[in-house]
Structure 1
Amino acid sequence: MRTRASLAVFAVAGITALTGLTATSAHASGSGDTKITKVVVNGGKNVVIGTSGAKTFTVAVTAQDNSGIKRADINIQGPSSGFFQPTKAVKCTPAGKAATCTATFTVDPRVDLYTNALAGVWYVDTWVDAKDGDFYTTEKAGSFKLQREGKLTVNASPEPVKKGKTLTVTGKLTRAHWDVFGDNKWVAHGNQSVKLEFRKKGAKSFTTVKTVKTSKSGDLKTTLKASVDGDWRWNFAGYSSHAAVASGVDFVDVK
């Protein structure tokens, strides 16, 4: 059964406190020769979550012991007392003295993500039992990023445009906002550096033309001289708590 990121939310003249499962300080212990050799979360990709729609991902922990691996418990914990348990029983696939134990997690932003503070670096907690009674446990077997999803638009005008004339490229950067009542929405992502990129007609890759900062309302706007036909787009690199995102492309015909 999935456990919510928080245990309870108390309302006193509005929301005044959020309490949850508290992650303890980092600790590892064990017995015998049991050890963890690899941890892979979501296939090695960041876990990106928007405003609606549950996100399902896996955590695969590979461990070994001379006698073989019997079972494993896997949980994940993050900032703001975030804590999740698997939605399915952990399954271990043996391979000689080692085994890869996989846990499946499902996170619904409307139910499980009560604050934006849950975005950031998360850790994998695991306990591994060997067939001979040995074990190994650690609160930080691996780490990954659980990020707020972003959206980015682009518009280049006028279309078509005469060569040498001014071309204006605009856009807007927004991000997922997680709310304690599940009233999630997309909000402006202001004061962020975003690259304006161009791909000449017939070319395979984009090149950076300039970097522009979003306004307080998340808006982007810049001007330049039109020279050749091609695609324009904005590209946001993201950071620890926010996912990278590129806009679609807007092709401009230069006459």
Structure 2
Amino acid sequence: MCGRYASTKDPALLAAEFDAVDATEGDAPGPDYNVAPTKSVLAVVQRHPRDESGEPDPSVTERSLRVMRWGLVPHWAKDLSGAAKMINARAESVLAKPSYRDSAAKRRCIIPAAGWYEWQPGEGRKQPYFINPNDGSSLAMAGIWSVWWQPDEELGRKAVITCAVLTIDAIGEMTTVHHRMPLLLPRDHWESWLDPDSTDPSGLLEPDPTLVSELELRPVSTAVNSVRNNTPDLMDPISLTADAMPEPTLFEKS
């Protein structure tokens, strides 16, 4: 976890839901029902706005919706090749691991999702499940982000903004499909998690049992196994009776 998720709302709706301004500037990806590593995704950040000279105003913060690339690349990385292996960061070690600790202290974000997919091991196959809120609201997955500077022939350097989802030990019904799950932030934790002046989020790294208990977990078609499939029906529930069992397909690891 978490190797795939769904992001279905447009930037205007997400900005309103997360009390943010839409700063995607027309670069936002469209609805994606099978978000995979290294794709462009939407994330919420809160920063001090800068003046014309680039100086931040410490007295004001602004929450905004941004476009990032899923798969964190530390600023000191030589290239982007390791991004697909860094889509998730373990909450238990995020404050200590060199690849993540600077971002965890200074650059935290929320990655909105309609829900995420998980695969339950079985005999000869893995059954995918979709986990989402049962009230239609977005999940607020705790994330971290980083800036990597890519050489550019025209601009000299181009900023590549990348992110990762924090994961924790699964709790409640989530343990029936996988031993890990994303760290989901309740609304009353959003401000503290995004606070750019707070460098110690250790008190926010535990799951909220009430929030997790309100999630719906349903089996879905193995069509989601292929990243080439990207339609709303990937999120639709299926029957697991013997007569309706879908044919197994090769699971593409992410």
| Fold shared, TM-score > 0.5 on shorter chain | no
Structure possessing the higher relative contact order (Cα contacts under 8 Å, 6 or more residues apart) = 2
If the length of structure 1 is used for normalisation, what is the TM-score? 0.27
If the length of structure 2 is used for normalisation, what is the TM-score? 0.27
Whichever structure has more strand as a proportion of its residues is: 1
Whichever structure has more helix as a proportion of its residues is: 2
